[in-house]
């Protein structure tokens, strides 16, 4: 359970008072506000704030004086058009702020998305909690044999047990030693900014992360993808559920054009045209490498 | 008067319904929402949306579960500390969305601030309105004689009258010709994306502009400064009034550390140290150029 | 002819001395350096500097100690892989700096690409030259009737002549008045920052523009596209010719995956799958709107 | 010693061939190219490429056709002027690409500077080396008692020895277990992307990092500062030495206006004015908090 009773009380306190506002407001998103959605064994995602809704996208695209909405159907069509033609700026007019608790090795992937605002819990200033990500046994995959970057089959029985044993023991020892080094009982106590270097990458950190909808969609396309590492994908999946309730029309267009869509090369388009004319196209006469052909087949089959 | 009755009605409509929200809400900012604050002869600035408040800055700095506020006084101290030490990320956790109507030559300066989101009214797609910035007679300055980039004395009498006459006549003629070229009566009508090239830089455009508080402060420091061009400074001044009502503690710290403060070089600090010890320091023995010395004197006198 | 004899001499001077360097160097790009490639009637693009080459992309992708090249064929395969899987960071490791002279209305579109560095000629500080873009008669298109944002048929005879007459006369008058207002003969002379507001959007400006290869490809994909406005497309086309000589393998991958490729939605992919199985798919049973269907057909036919 | 004989040979190979180029070239920087400057126990910084020089800053500021240089003295004055007035865009016209080997906890601070390009060695794809940062005994500081974020006195004797023992033992054990988990001898072998989570934050990673001079100065101002963590400051210091040889005039202005300078608040400036008039100013009548007053005194004394 990732939250202490005090933290839960703080969240309940925040959820107990509404204020009147003239701003664009989404009831489906209000229902999420502040609540921690659990992810992995100690992590979570929670929405701290949001700006805009589906209408706000249209309002900005039209540079409107009023709501910018003509009709729901009309708005959906405009949003699909904008998504299809990569008109990204109207989507940038929506913003979301999340509080995320996540293992450090996930945080290191996440931070590579540069167009976002971040405040991370400081291990120079504060003491980190004793919380480490220990995978579920069925999330322990072997190194992929077809793909250098990825996972293959699941580890079985003894081997899985040994791995879990190692991860638990090393985490415990590392944290015990972290505590011993910073302790000020009977000694000076090592500076926190130094002691943290002993902590492994499965320790949890947390941050506030604020991003606009366009850049969030870019993050989700890469991180909710089947090729993303499982441990970041579960965060992306949790965020998808929130976005679906926040901007349903934009999310639907995103699913159709980005998550479910594919970018095809000129070579691939030429193959499709030949195939539609009845020609037999094989890897050998496709102009594609074996890897490209395999990816192409997975798209059109 | 920059707004049509229809536009005013759309704004009134937006201001007539409040929604309950759990988000951080600032009554002083709600009072501004959607209303157009007039700037120059046909321009305006209006707030379309905002995210966060003074507490949200502290909440992010502390990566809090709840409000992040210990006490108002405590929060103000933290905000001053963050501003003083250039900890900019907590200020990035607040966001504002504005609708601005402004002359094109002002827009061209404004857009140089790249860390912001923009949707501009499209002159490829739409027809621009016949609205041009014509300065007030007392805003017609001569080229500065001490500073290549700037204004000197005000133009007087005849000369001012001639300038205004030129600006009005050329705007009118350019717009008449714009209309004549795109007209589809008795002719094909030139494409809008081409016809717009005939319009001078004092024509008004408009855009939605969204920016975080840190980058907004950077914009305001440069554009509300006495050396900024008058026509952009009046927009910056109008925005300052809104920010003051939105995040009063942050704005106060910004005024003290940025607007009213100064960055001194090592050379300048050494001069101050010598002066405080009673030494007579002059430009000649200061190590500064004449220009630097003049700027230095204006800071310490 | 856009360059004065003095400017040509400055360019010749720069091209007359080589220096030895240990950096990645591309002979095909050295041949372009500093030379002005004419665009439109008074504009140009010229390369001022570049960093990196095709090998540098691979070197960064592999975080190599040496050249990072295994073989030319191997490098091309890696570059295609990176492009296909949207691994954009290695392309960011190449950088180019251009000097561009372009009409203001083109500059206003161009500057919307925010991830780049820009230094523009200052009309607050300096006096602009009397150079205006006047289209070729065969570039005068009517407003499109199928697409609000774009051009249709070419204007004919009398109408084209009238348009050119207007553009020339208004440019001339605007510049004459600009000169008259800033003149200091017998009067104070209006500040340059004010006088410029009288100049139309077809006046030429110039800037230094520096961008990494990933963001340049993004710019080129949008601006060298058939739907881009002609006046910016010719600049993009001129830059494409330079990039082809600079990073030939990356450019080839860009042509195949971006310029010649297409992004298909989940709906569109499902249609292709049905069509490849022999099913008759029409707009009505496709799940696409008419506009989408039209775009889809243009991709697969 | 951070480099293997093979890596040194690759570097020597790169340094053995010069190419002629027309680009701006800096002999002082050529001398640095590719060579690894050691930092900490296993880390280094080396320059992979650079674009521009002091003249290029002036050339961009003037939007020149030629070199942009009038005279060395004139250029230095312009560079100082640009730095003093926060005209940052001309400094963005210089670019540098570095290869850095650094501990993960340093990398985590470094990456917070978002306006830069990064390619990091992938621990999903590759196996990390057995290299951990173990501080020198005289770099083992206690937690500061006056400042929550920082170091105080050095640890002494026994305590220092215990800390080093812990860091070494835990690193060794963590890496042994990392190897054991990914080993494919007699077992499947855990995926690398999972096994890496067991490695502590003092393990070394490496990346290519490319940044423009303006953003590099911002990085150096914060990270070469006395308040930065020692382990990142030594990297910043090593980079300063390179920048000094690359753009000496810009670096000198940076030292005077940024590193050696200070930003004073309106309140602080008012105190200086009062002090220069002979008034006795104390913390009590200064309008500053105790913390601010302490910082103020350290600036003017």
Q: What is the pLDDT of residue A2?
A: 72
pLDDT band per the 50, 70, 90 thresholds, residue B109: very high
| Nearest to B219, CA basis, from B243, B236, B242, B237 | B236
**Separation between Cα atoms, residue D283 and residue D192, nearest integer Å:** 57
Question: Which entry of C151, C223, C274, C294 is annotated as an active-site residue?
Answer: C223
Contact D190 A155 (CB under 8 A): yes
Q: What global pTM score does this model have?
A: 0.96
Question: Left, alpha or beta for A192 (phi > 0: left; psi -120 to 50: alpha)?
Answer: alpha
By DSSP bridging, strand B19-21 and strand A262-264 are unpaired
pLDDT above 80: residue D137: yes
**Separation between Cα atoms, residue A297 and residue C269, nearest integer Å:** 12
pLDDT above 60: residue D191: yes
pLDDT above 90: residue B14: yes
Q: What is the pLDDT of residue A148?
A: 66
By DSSP bridging, strand C204-212 and strand D37-39 are unpaired
Look at A179 and C142; give whichever has higher pLDDT: A179
Look at A64 and A199; give whichever has higher pLDDT: A199
Locus of tokens 């600090």? B269
> Residue A199 to residues A41, A172, A181, A208, C214: CA-CA distances in angstroms?
18, 10, 12, 22, 36
Span D220-230, average pLDDT: 94
Q: What is the pLDDT of residue D148?
A: 66
**Separation between Cα atoms, residue B51 and residue B93, nearest integer Å:** 8
Give me the residue from A10, A11, A117 closest to B93, CB to CB: A117
Q: Which residues of D touch A115 (CB under 8 A)?
A: 114
| Nearest to D173, CA basis, from D198, D137, D202 | D198
Contact D276 B273 (CB under 8 A): no
Q: Establish if D56 touches chain C: CB-CB under 8 angstroms.
A: yes
pLDDT band per the 50, 70, 90 thresholds, residue D228: very high
Contact B260 D265 (CB under 8 A): yes
- Across C130-259, the runs of DSSP E, i.e. the strands, are 141-143, 151-154, 204-212
Assigned CATH class of D5-133+202-259: alpha beta
**Separation between Cα atoms, residue D109 and residue A196, nearest integer Å:** 13
Q: Establish if D273 touches chain B: CB-CB under 8 angstroms.
A: yes
Q: What is the pLDDT of residue A67?
A: 79
Q: What is the pLDDT of residue C71?
A: 74
pLDDT band per the 50, 70, 90 thresholds, residue B192: very high
| Nearest to B299, CA basis, from D270, A38, A60, C189 | D270
pLDDT above 70: residue D152: yes
Closest CA of chain B from C205, distance in Å:
12
Question: Which entry of A46, A196, A223, A258 is annotated as an active-site residue?
Answer: A223
pLDDT above 80: residue A249: yes
Contact D260 B269 (CB under 8 A): yes
For chain C, 301 residues long, give each residue's pLDDT as a single digit of tens.
579 999 999 999 999 999 999 999 999 999 999 999 999 999 999 999 999 999 999 999 999 988 766 677 789 999 999 999 999 999 999 999 999 999 999 999 999 999 999 999 999 989 999 999 999 998 998 888 766 667 788 898 899 999 999 999 999 999 999 999 999 999 999 999 999 999 999 999 999 999 999 999 999 999 999 989 999 999 999 999 999 999 999 999 999 999 999 999 999 999 999 999 999 999 999 999 999 999 999 999 8
How high does pLDDT run on average in chain D?
94
- Among B74, B79, B262, B279, most D C-beta atoms within 10 A, so best to mutate, is B262
Span A270-288, average pLDDT: 95
Q: Which residues 75-104 in chain A show a CB within 8 A of chain B?
A: 89-90, 92-93, 95, 97, 99
- Closest-approach residue (CA) in chain C for B116: C114
- Answer positive or negative: Cα dihedral of A73, A59, A261, C272: positive
| Nearest to D208, CA basis, from C50, A115, C93 | C93
**Separation between Cα atoms, residue D67 and residue D69, nearest integer Å:** 5
Tens digits of residue pLDDT in A92-122: 999 999 999 999 999 999 999 999 999 999 9
Tens digits of residue pLDDT in A16-29: 999 999 999 999 99
pLDDT band per the 50, 70, 90 thresholds, residue B68: low
Task: Give φ, ψ of D258 to 5 degrees.
Answer: -110, -60
Tens digits of residue pLDDT in B135-179: 999 899 988 876 666 778 889 889 999 999 999 999 999 999 999
Q: What is the ipTM of this complex?
A: 0.94
Q: Which residues of A touch C256 (CB under 8 A)?
A: 265-267
Contacting residues for D29 by C-beta, under 8 A, at least 6 apart: D47, D50, D242, D245, D246
Q: Per-domain residue ranges for chain D? A: 5-133+202-259, 136-201, 266-300
In chain B, DSSP finds a helix count (H) and a strand count (E) of 13, 9
pLDDT band per the 50, 70, 90 thresholds, residue B82: very high
Span A265-287, average pLDDT: 96
> Residue C75 to residues C65, C199, D200: CA-CA distances in angstroms?
16, 50, 34
Contacting residues for A40 by C-beta, under 8 A, at least 6 apart: A102, A103, A133, A231, A234
Closest CA of chain A from C293, distance in Å:
12
pLDDT above 60: residue B22: yes
Tens digits of residue pLDDT in D32-81: 999 999 999 999 999 999 999 999 999 999 999 887 666 777 899 999 99
Tens digits of residue pLDDT in B273-282: 999 999 999 9
**Separation between Cα atoms, residue C140 and residue C134, nearest integer Å:** 10
Burial of B5 (0-12, 13-18, 19+ CB in 10 A): exposed
């Amino acid at each position: 359970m990732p939250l202490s009773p005090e933290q839960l009380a703080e969240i309940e306190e925040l959820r107990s008072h509404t204020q009147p506002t003239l701003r664009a407001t989404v009831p489906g998103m209000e229902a999420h506000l502040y609540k921690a959605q659990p992810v992995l064994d100690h992590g979570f995602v929670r929405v701290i704030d949001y700006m805009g809704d589906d209408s706000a996208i249209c309002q900005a695209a039209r540079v409107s004086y009023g709501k910018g909405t003509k009709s729901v159907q009309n708005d959906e069509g405009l949003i699909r058009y904008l998504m299809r033609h990569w008109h990204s700026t109207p989507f940038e007019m929506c913003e979301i702020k999340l509080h995320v608790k996540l293992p450090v090795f996930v945080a290191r992937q996440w931070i590579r998305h540069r167009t976002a605002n971040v405040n991370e819990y400081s291990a120079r200033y504060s003491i980190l909690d004793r919380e480490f990500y220990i995978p579920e046994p069925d999330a322990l995959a072997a190194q992929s044999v077809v793909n250098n970057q990825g996972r293959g089959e699941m580890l079985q029985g003894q081997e899985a047990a040994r791995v879990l044993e190692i991860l638990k023991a090393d985490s415990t020892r590392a944290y015990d030693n972290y505590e011993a080094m910073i302790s000020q009982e009977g000694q000076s106590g090592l500076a926190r900014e130094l002691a943290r270097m002993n902590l492994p990458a499965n320790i949890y950190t947390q941050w506030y992360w604020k991003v606009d909808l366009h850049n969030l969609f870019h993050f989700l396309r890469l991180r909710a993808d089947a090729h993303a590492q499982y441990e970041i994908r579960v965060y992306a999946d949790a965020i998808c559920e929130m976005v679906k309730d926040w901007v349903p029309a934009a999310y639907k267009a995103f699913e159709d054009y980005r998550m479910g869509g594919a970018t095809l090369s000129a070579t691939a388009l030429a193959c499709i045209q030949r195939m539609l004319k009845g020609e037999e196209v094989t890897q050998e006469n496709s102009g594609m490498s074996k890897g490209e052909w395999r990816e192409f087949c997975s798209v059109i089959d």
